[in-house]
């Protein structure tokens, strides 16, 4: 926890009362009043023992130690340092628990929604009027849907978790099946269906043409399939039927489906905030050009004994007969770190076999989780989601 010097003006305000406090402590604009989480904006009341102080649901404090129970990195700061325009209630506290910042990296302890705004960690949209959610036309649980891409009708299944209310946006995860698989099989095997219920996000399982995904020269026999266009259309279709947080859309998948998650990171970085591929690697640049429009967080899961996609990479023949060249697990790890402009060395592998480049452009991360002796693996949805949810489109 960093030390903090409380601004003198604030101390004066707490003594002299309303006039100075009103001009020094400034609000962040009209809010809904419905948010009750620490560091969420408010206009009236907050739950869970928090108070609405200068437009933020938080806790009054007189020392830094009183803030640690709320969140790691929180400090006791002066209300005089609050951003924006209007005035606060003169009866409010002179200081409250908050996190100051000089960049987005300082807000990482709070998770993906938080960005550095006006010198403080705030959720995207603080100070703005929230966009109204559309009327929900999906039923709780699984919903079979189609969407037209060009002149082709594509199928997918989308699931609303039981805790979906339609009152606030939820993240969306696209979960891609393996070669020859199906949405139902992927939903059964990947673990994201169950995780969606406990973590509170929408999950969709697209269905591939020929049971495959079109990635460079691999892997469909129908070579004109537009799977990137399908992904974009699917996200737009779900957004019309449910309340989707478009800054928090992610792609995951296994084997050929993992390759599709990579492909979306390469070619749809304006839509997908982060990707979590399993049991696949990037192909050689000449076969699968990859130039994301922005740094994209990536966490991959690989087994060293995978017989279908060798851990060390190399030349292979794809199921559709095409000659392809895998970069390998480590080669892909290093390539994605290069794409994300990561600096320094990756961390040593942890107990889950995960090594991470954490100093990358725009706060992105690149992680490789290796299972020694493991074959084709779906990886851990819990570990994957823990990384994905920390990142959103800026």
- The residue whose two tokens read 């290796």 is 370
Percent of the chain past pLDDT 90, that is, above it, reads 63
Position 25 scores a pLDDT of: 35
39 band by pLDDT with thresholds 50, 70 and 90 = low
Give me the pLDDT at residue 175, please: 98
More confident residue, 114 or 276: 276
Query: pLDDT, tens digit, for every residue of 155-193?
Result: 999 999 999 988 889 999 999 999 999 999 999 999 999
Give pLDDT, residue 58.
75
Q: Is the pLDDT of residue 36 over 60?
A: no
> Is residue 13 over pLDDT 60?
no
pLDDT digits (tens, 9 = 90+) for 127-143: 443 456 889 999 999 99
Is the pLDDT at 120 greater than 80, yes or no? no
Lowest pLDDT segment from 20-29, 138-147, 208-217, 282-291: 20-29
Instruction: List the structure tokens of 222.
Output: 């129908």
Task: Return the pLDDT at 116.
Answer: 62
Is the Cβ–Cβ distance between 215 and 288 less than 8 Å? yes
| Average pLDDT of the residues in 287-308 | 97
Q: What is the mean pLDDT of the chain?
A: 81
Confidence of residue 278 (pLDDT cuts 50, 70, 90): very high
**With b meaning 16 or more CB within 10 Å and e meaning fewer, what string describes 304-337?**
eebeebbbebeebebbbebebbbbbbbbbbbbbb
Residues 6+ apart with CB under 8 A from 154: 146, 147, 148, 206, 207, 209, 230, 233, 234
pLDDT over 50 at 84, yes or no: no
Quick check: 309 pLDDT over 50? yes
Whether residue 363 has pLDDT greater than 50: yes
The tens digit of pLDDT for each residue in 330-344 reads 999 999 999 999 999
Q: Is the pLDDT of residue 68 over 60?
A: yes
Cα 139 from Cα 13, distance rounded (Å): 53
Do strands 297-303 and 366-371 pair parallel, antiparallel, or not at all (unpaired)?
Answer: parallel
- pLDDT confidence band for 103 (50 / 70 / 90): low
Q: Look at residue 191 and give its three-state secondary structure.
A: coil
Q: How confident is the model at residue 72 (pLDDT cuts 50, 70, 90)?
A: low
Residue 140 and residue 159 in contact, taking contact as beta carbons nearer than 8 Å: no
* Beta carbons of 143 and 219 less than 8 angstroms apart: no
Respond yes or no on whether the N-terminal peptide bond of residue 219 is cis (omega within 30° of 0): yes
Mean pLDDT of 263-286: 98
Asked whether the CA dihedral 394, 41, 15, 23 is positive or negative, the reply is: positive
Kindly list the structural domains of the chain, giving each domain's residue range(s) and its CATH number in brackets, ordered by start.
Answer: 8-122 (no CATH), 141-388 (3.40.50.1820)
* CB-count burial class (<10 Å; 0-12, 13-18, 19+) for 60: middle
Report the pLDDT averaged over residues 242-263: 97
């Amino acid at each position: 926890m960093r030390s903090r010097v409380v601004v003198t003006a604030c101390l004066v305000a707490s003594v002299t009362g309303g006039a100075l406090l009103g001009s020094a402590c400034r609000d962040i604009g009209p809010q809904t009043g419905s948010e009750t989480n620490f560091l969420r904006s408010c206009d009236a009341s907050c739950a869970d023992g928090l108070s609405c102080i200068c437009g933020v649901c938080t806790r009054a404090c007189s020392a830094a130690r009183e803030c640690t129970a709320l969140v790691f990195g929180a400090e006791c700061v002066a209300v005089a340092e609050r951003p924006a325009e209007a005035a606060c209630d003169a009866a409010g506290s002179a200081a409250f628990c908050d996190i100051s910042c000089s960049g987005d990296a300082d807000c990482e302890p709070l998770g993906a929604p938080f960005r550095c705004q006006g010198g403080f960690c705030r959720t995207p949209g603080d100070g703005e009027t929230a966009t109204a959610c559309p009327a929900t036309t999906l039923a709780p649980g699984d919903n079979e849907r189609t969407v037209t891409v060009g002149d082709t009708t594509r199928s997918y299944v989308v699931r609303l978790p039981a805790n979906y209310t339609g009152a606030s946006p939820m993240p969306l995860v696209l979960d891609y099946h393996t070669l020859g698989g199906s949405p139902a099989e992927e939903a059964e095997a990947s673990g994201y269906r169950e995780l969606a219920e406990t973590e509170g996000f929408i999950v969709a399982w697209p269905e591939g043409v020929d049971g495959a995904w079109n990635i460079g020269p691999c892997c469909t026999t129908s070579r004109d399939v537009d799977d990137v266009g399908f992904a974009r259309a699917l996200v737009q279709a779900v957004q019309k039927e449910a309340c989707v947080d478009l800054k928090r859309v992610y792609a995951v998948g296994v084997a050929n489906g993992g390759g599709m998650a990579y492909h979306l990171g390469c070619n749809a970085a304006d839509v997908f905030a982060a990707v979590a591929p399993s049991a696949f690697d990037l192909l050689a640049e000449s076969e699968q050009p990859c130039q994301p429009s922005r740094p994209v967080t990536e966490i991959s899961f690989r087994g060293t004994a995978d017989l279908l996609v060798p851990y060390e990479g190399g030349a292979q023949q794809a199921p559709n007969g095409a000659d392809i060249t895998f970069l390998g697990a480590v080669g892909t790890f290093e390539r994605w770190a290069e794409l994300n402009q990561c600096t320094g060395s990756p961390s040593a592998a942890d107990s889950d076999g995960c090594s991470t480049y954490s100093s990358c452009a725009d706060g992105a991360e690149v992680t490789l989780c290796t299972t020694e002796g493991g074959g084709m693996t779906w990886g851990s949805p819990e570990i994957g989601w823990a990384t994905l949810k920390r990142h959103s489109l800026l």
